[in-house]
Amino acid sequence: MCPSWRKSWPRPKLLAPSRRKCSGRPVPDLRELQAAFWRSLTSGAPEARLLGRIRATPELPAAERLDIYARMYRDRIVEALREDFPRVAAVVGEERFQALAGSYLAGHPSAHPSLRHFGRGLPAFIATAPLPGLPALRPTPSRSGSTRSGPCHQRTGEGSASLWGLP
């Protein structure tokens, strides 16, 4: 039986359908819009049709609004690589690590929703396409844990090469 307070609880009123007029432009499929957003984030070059879908404000044009997301995405990727490869970051320094991470991201965009998988190819990337002045780095023995917590972020023990720079 329903408690008495639920019977008297005001029910939400249904909102009337939007009276906004359509701009006449075709509305893109959600997947198409997400794919264009992803390409813009990973390439650094916003697509014109995507910019047409982003509402500009007097303070921020559409391109700048999209650029905020792109910068935050890149910064989080670099932070994740720095957490996974602290010795590499320490050896090469901040400026060169930023360049290394940017080059790696450009050639190896993330293909998994979890960041724990992103850096797996970095040791091979360093070995095959070293940046100028990057010292030869050797992999260190793997460790069982990660700086990230939770089952999603536990290492899978795929060998020391994928865990370069971990203590």
Give the pLDDT score at 31. 87
Please provide the average confidence, as pLDDT, over all residues in the chain.
73
CA 78, CA 105: separation in Å to the nearest integer? 9
CA 161, CA 2: separation in Å to the nearest integer? 61
Give the Cβ contact number of residue 135 at 10 Å.
Answer: 8
Task: Give the chain's domain count.
Answer: 1
The full length of the chain comes to 167
CA 162, CA 14: separation in Å to the nearest integer? 54
Residue burial 31-47, b: 16+ Cβ < 10 Å; e: rest: eeeeebbeebbbeeebe
49 has a pLDDT exceeding 90: no
Residue 14 falls inside a structural domain = no
Contact 125, 161 (CB under 8 A): no
CA 118 to chain centre: 10
Top pLDDT among 88 and 150 is at 88
Residue 133 falls inside a structural domain = no
pLDDT in tens, 53-81: 888 889 999 899 989 988 998 999 999 99
Q: Which helix (H) or strand (E) holds 105?
A: helix 94-107
What share of the chain has pLDDT > 70, as a percent? Answer: 60
What share of the chain has pLDDT > 90, as a percent? Answer: 18
- Tokens 């905020």 sit at which residue? 68
DSSP state of 27: P
12 has a pLDDT exceeding 80: no
- Tokens 């990973």 sit at which residue? 42
Give the pLDDT score at 164. 47
Give the pLDDT score at 84. 93
122 has a pLDDT exceeding 60: yes
Q: Domain residues for 97?
A: 30-128
Top pLDDT among 106 and 6 is at 106
Give the pLDDT score at 141. 47
Which of 18-27, 37-46, 124-133 has the highest mean predicted lDDT (pLDDT)?
37-46
Give the pLDDT score at 3. 55
Residue 80 falls inside a structural domain = yes
- Tokens 């008495």 sit at which residue? 4
DSSP state of 72: H
Give the pLDDT score at 146. 46
Question: The whole model's pTM is what?
Answer: 0.61
Residue 5 falls inside a structural domain = no
